[in-house]
Structure 1
Amino acid sequence: MEICPSMVFRTLYIDMNSFFASVEQQEDPSLRGRPVGITAIAAESGAVVAASYEAKAFGVKVGTRVYDAKRMCPGIVFRQSRHRLYVRVNQKIAAVLDEIGELERIRSIDEFQVALGGTTGELEGAMDLARRMKVAIRERVGSELRCSIGIGPNQLLAKIAGKLQKPDGLQWLSPENMPDRLSHLQLDDLPGISRGIKTKLNKAMIWDIPSLYALDPRHARLIWHSVEGERFVRALQGEDIPLGETQRNGYGNSKVLAPKYRRPDQARLVGRWLTEKATERMRRDDFCAQRFTLHIRIMPKGGWAKSQTLNASQDTQIMLNIFENLWRKMMRNQPRIIGSVSVQLSDVLPLSQRSGELFLPLEPAAQNRSEKLSAVVDRINHRYKSRVITFGRQQDHPGFFENG
């Protein structure tokens, strides 16, 4: 690999390879070297949420139906996802990385961002750090865990570099090898280029990555209809563009129901559980919602969705009351089988910006009595690491985010 001596590198991006499947192979040696698929629910109609590289070699990928995966890869072994286990491994990896380098951000369950500087700001130093991190993860967390690492002058280029070689890759990007190093990719292969943005770029006669790279950032702002377009192109060109804080639009939870929870009476209890979880997350972040939306998929084909506005609130009981009201309206359709339930709390604003209401009563920028009670329930449940207190009957749904 040709070394680029002049460029200052600021970010190292670690992307764990087939993380969920690799963790399961680490936990169960009998799975090592075998095709493994991770599913949210144990059912033929379920979909693969992660696949080992042995399974990927047969064409199995995220979203492949279980029955199709069995046809494509007859020897595939399925395991139901265990998110808490993956979180524990994520934390172990984070601790190891932070000992060796400066862990800047945990980007997701399987992605980490490390800050570079000093000797590691030069490519040789960054490459050496990356290699040591790979060895440390294998030796101290798990021999089956592999990662691809990208190095760049900013977070965007480091992340893209980490996607270039899988599994177990190590690549770098900078203005010295751009845009040629990415010329084989499509526009929407880049993180941040959605189908809608790609359509806008095509309308502006931008068809490939070299053309995007050559774009005047001010023109990109016009194409995106947002300053984010200018920021994206500047970052692609190698500028150190700091990441802005994400604007929170809402809080939601959804669940594709296992067969035993598809009767309306059981699905309703799952919906109550989802409502409690979404409201708890919103309250944890000190936000309030002004709209509640319930979306139901009715099997075999059909759907129902309705929203209700409310005074800005983070009160679990208020959200549950709205859920029950919308659920009764949905039941007028007399559904017999519910395929999925989704709740969404939107039009959110920080609690600190909520105005007071004389007749509720509600003080400005402060929790009311019922919201304080909900917060106490949060603290108790967090202390005991389970839902020892709930707001009436509910049904937690095992699956992608709930198995231990």
Structure 2
Amino acid sequence: MPNEPTQIIRKIIHIDMDAFYASVEQRDFPEYRGKALVVGGSPQGRGVVATASYEARKFGVRSAMSSKRALQLCPDVIFVRPRFAAYGEVSQKIREIFSRYTDLIEPLSLDEAYLDVTHDKLNIGSAIEIAQQIKQAIKDELQLTASAGVSINKFVAKIASDINKPDGLKFIGPSSIEDFMEQLPVEKFFGVGKVTAQRMKQMGLHTGADLKRLTEEELLRHFGKTGRFYYQIVRGVDNREVQPHRETKSLGAEDTFVYDLTTLEEMNTELDKIALTVYNRLLKYDLKGRTLTLKIKYSDFKQITRNQSFPEAFSDLETISQTAKQIMAVTYTEEAKVRLLGISLSNFGDVAPKSKQEKEAGPGDQLTLEF
């Protein structure tokens, strides 16, 4: 095809630790081993599951689930508070193992990263062999297990790492990628959340093969610029580079909900979950910001952002969560129907911004609130 993108052949590994927080707790505290364990908040409050051990996952307990729901599913589950400093130390040791093989490392979180080993430091040549050595080093030196996906691009490597968990290794070579992508459920595609997956299925699009039947123009029309990515990746093309030194101007997370949120309690529960994700990402990059921005998209697709700036940089979970909920409370109206919420931190520089006075704002305007 004349417009077919040129594929760059790389050797990419995606490493994903297995139930990372819970595994560290089980390693450090023998009384937790073999037990259903949740790292997260208390079920007596509005706690959220950060990570569940595999013993808890057998009962349906999952990350981002409310702790109360986790207790309902698994009455014997043990809850422990996160020890992020400990996880950060382990993450640094994992990074040191990665760096023995390549300097092209792109962390996605404390427990996962992409590695480009097209030209590895030890001249091993085989990405599969490197992945095996990394997994073994993590097991021998840290008493933890990791799963690895190996392929020629980031997208396929990331999906491959999830196939044989825990302690898995999956290689998907160039000749297998298109068949693999055609069989992949649409909810596994990059950028496809619950809402988009539901929409796709309503259109009769259930797998990569279904997406492949649409032209690039049709995908763009239905899904915007992400449609171009779908068109390429279902054909095995993903030319994104592993980026070890990406400049971070803002960092955040957001979630689109299957059902519109109508009460402040529902919104605060979701903000707690999103705040935890943001906190983990700040910890990963060792960042503190002075400006927190809350993004709200309503059922009519009207979107607003509201922000608050502080004189001192912060990254603690309590400030992130409470600030987002304070802004939400000021913005909330009883008739509001919210389909998306997002929290981000920015202003990572050395100069603190001057606060602005609260003002009226339309869709997409910025507003700094003072409390």
TM-score class, shorter:
0.5 to 0.7
Q: CA deviation at 1:133?
A: 0.5
In 2 relative to 1, CA 234–123 (structure 1 residues): closer, same or farther, beyond 3 Å? farther
Contact 2:309 2:353 in 1 (8 A): no
In 2 relative to 1, CA 232–343 (structure 1 residues): closer, same or farther, beyond 3 Å? closer
Q: CA deviation at 1:151?
A: 1.0
Q: CA deviation at 1:15?
A: 0.9
Hey, what's the Cα distance between the residues in 2 that align with 1:108 and 1:343?
18
Gaps of 5+ in 1: 1-6, 254-266, 268-273, 296-306, 334-341, 352-365, 372-393, 395-404
Q: CA deviation at 1:239?
A: 2.4
Q: CA deviation at 1:180?
A: 3.6
What is aligned with 2:21? Answer: 20
Determine whether 1:151 maps to 2:171.
no
What is aligned with 2:57? Answer: 56
Superposition CA RMSD, Å:
4.8
Superposed CA offset, 1:115-144 (max 9, x none): 021589x9981111111001000112x21x
Hey, what's the Cα distance between the residues in 2 that align with 1:174 and 1:195?
29
Hey, what's the Cα distance between the residues in 1 that align with 2:306 and 2:66?
37
Q: CA deviation at 1:224?
A: 1.9
In 2 relative to 1, CA 287–45 (structure 1 residues): closer, same or farther, beyond 3 Å? closer
| Local SS of the residue matching 1:100 | coil
| Local SS of the residue matching 1:165 | coil
What amino acid is the match of 1:77? I
Identity of aligned residues (%): 22
What amino acid is the match of 2:118? G
Determine whether 1:229 maps to 2:227.
yes
Q: CA deviation at 1:237?
A: 2.2
Superposed CA offset, 1:32-73 (max 9, x none): 222211122463653322111111123222244445544543
Hey, what's the Cα distance between the residues in 2 that align with 1:197 and 1:28?
41
What is aligned with 1:132? Answer: 133
Q: Where in structure 2 are the equivalents of 1:197-346 lying within 5 Å?
A: 197-199=196-198, 201-202=200-201, 205-213=204-212, 215-226=214-225, 228-242=226-240, 316=311
Hey, what's the Cα distance between the residues in 2 that align with 1:71 and 1:367?
47
Determine whether 1:191 maps to 2:176.
no
Hey, what's the Cα distance between the residues in 1 that align with 2:170 and 2:230?
20
Q: CA deviation at 1:174?
A: 4.0
Q: CA deviation at 1:102?
A: 3.8
Hey, what's the Cα distance between the residues in 1 that align with 2:306 and 2:135?
50
Contact 1:147 1:169 in 2 (8 A): yes
Hey, what's the Cα distance between the residues in 2 that align with 1:46 and 1:9?
42
Contact 1:39 1:81 in 2 (8 A): yes
Moved over 6 A (4+): 244-250, 284-289, 307-310, 348-351
Hey, what's the Cα distance between the residues in 1 that align with 2:20 and 2:306?
40
What amino acid is the match of 1:220? L
What is aligned with 1:168? Answer: 167
Contact 1:51 1:62 in 2 (8 A): yes
| Local SS of the residue matching 2:63 | coil
Determine whether 1:38 maps to 2:39.
yes
| Local SS of the residue matching 2:59 | coil
What is aligned with 1:29? Answer: 30
The normalised TM-score by structure 2 is 0.62
Q: CA deviation at 1:193?
A: 1.3
Hey, what's the Cα distance between the residues in 2 that align with 1:42 and 1:85?
23
In the comparison of the two structures, how many residue pairs are matched?
295
What is aligned with 2:93? Answer: 92
Hey, what's the Cα distance between the residues in 1 that align with 2:74 and 2:287?
43
Point out the more displaced range, 173-182 or 46-55: 173-182
Q: CA deviation at 1:345?
A: 6.8
What is aligned with 2:74? Answer: 73
The normalised TM-score by structure 1 is 0.58
Point out the more displaced range, 61-70 or 20-29: 61-70
In 2 relative to 1, CA 95–37 (structure 1 residues): closer, same or farther, beyond 3 Å? same
Hey, what's the Cα distance between the residues in 2 that align with 1:315 and 1:236?
44
